Amino acid sequence: MPKKSELKLLWAEEFDYPTGLNPKAWNFDLGDGTEKGIPGWGNNEREYYVESSVTTGAGLTITAERQSPDTDISTYYGPAEWTSGKIHTAGKLGFKYGYFEFQAKMPSGAGSWPAIWMLGASINEVPWPACGEIDIFEGTGNEPLVVRGTVHGPGYAGDKGITQAITHTAELSESFHTYGILWQENRIEWFFNGESYFVLDTTHPEFLENKWVYNDEYYLIMNLAIGGWFAGEVSPELQSAQLQVKSIHFYSVDGVGELIRHK
């Protein structure tokens, strides 16, 4: 959490809805990415996103479940091996600068790939990676102790993203932890359980040649993928996995930070 700063709460989400997501804030991404022209969501992922994988009540739960071979769900590689969930705020809520804090419990199991991240709101006009991507947290069941923050942009995307990882003393699936970013003009700082572990700004050598694209509006995404280039092999013993998010808080910091409502 930012030290010696004045925080003002601009938006909070605790997913305390008995009947599903708040439609004024959230959308579903569905399918395997084929309809968007990126089968496997561009990463060779194995899950097929469905609304029923996302539940609310005392927080949000995204559940990935292995499917039987005779499923009637078809994907780019054949019958779906997995279903899971993905939600985002595009076209409903946007954010520019401020402090984000998430209370979340990560899934366990080799091949699981939870992510809390953001994309530039200009993505329809400025395709990825030029629109920018901020990964607040990205992890895998194959690295159950690792906390990672990353950005992807023009000239430094995919496996060339600018990233920093730390190793926790216990598996992230054992309890809830706090994941956050302090996002300012020309600067992003990542936090784990209130402690800073990565600071990136325009003085980084990457930005001598490539563009910093993090001073514009972004929207929020949360999902649980299975398999793919980043997550690695999926354990044949894994039958289900859950990403749980207890709460999200978004603050302005010393008067800087904007919540943008589109609907």
**DSSP string over 82-131:** EEE-EEE-TTTEEEESEEEEEEEE---STTEEEEEEEEETTTTTS-TTTT
Q: Which residue stretches of the chain have pLDDT < 50?
A: none
Q: Is 231 contained in some domain?
A: yes
In a domain, 204, yes or no: yes
- Compute the distance between CA of residue 22 and CA of residue 11 in angstroms, rounded to an integer: 13
- What are φ and ψ of residue 94, in 5° steps? -125, 160
25 located within any domain: no
- How far apart (Å, rounded) are the C-alpha atoms in residues 47 and 31? 8
DSSP characters over 201-227: ETTSGGGGTS----SS-EEEEEEEEES
d(CA 123, CA 136) in angstroms, rounded, equals: 18
Task: Please name the amino acid found at residue 78.
Answer: G
**Taking Cα atoms as reference points, which of 250, 191, 252, 183 lies closest to residue 215?**
183
Residue 23 in domain: no
User: pLDDT at position 112, please?
Assistant: 98
How many Å apart are CA 71 and CA 67, to the nearest integer?
Answer: 6
Half-sphere exposure of 115 (CA within 13 A, CB side): 26
R_g of the chain computed on alpha carbons? 18
With respect to residue 80, please indicate whether it lies within any of the assigned structural domains.
no
- The total of structural domains in the chain comes to 1
Domain span at residue 114?
A: 8-14+86-261
pLDDT tens across 19-74, in order?
Answer: 899 999 999 999 999 999 999 999 999 999 999 999 999 899 999 999 999 999 99
Q: Is the residue at 48 inside a domain?
A: no
Which residues are part of the catalytic machinery? 133, 138
CATH (domain of 247): 2.60.120.200
Distance, in Å, from the CA atom of 236 to the CA atom of 110, rounded to the nearest integer, reads 9
Identify whether 158 is part of a domain. yes
- pLDDT at residue 166, as a whole number: 98
Evaluate whether residue 41 is within a structural domain.
Answer: no
Query: What pLDDT is stored for residue 58 in this prediction?
Result: 86
CB atoms within 10 A of CB 119: 19
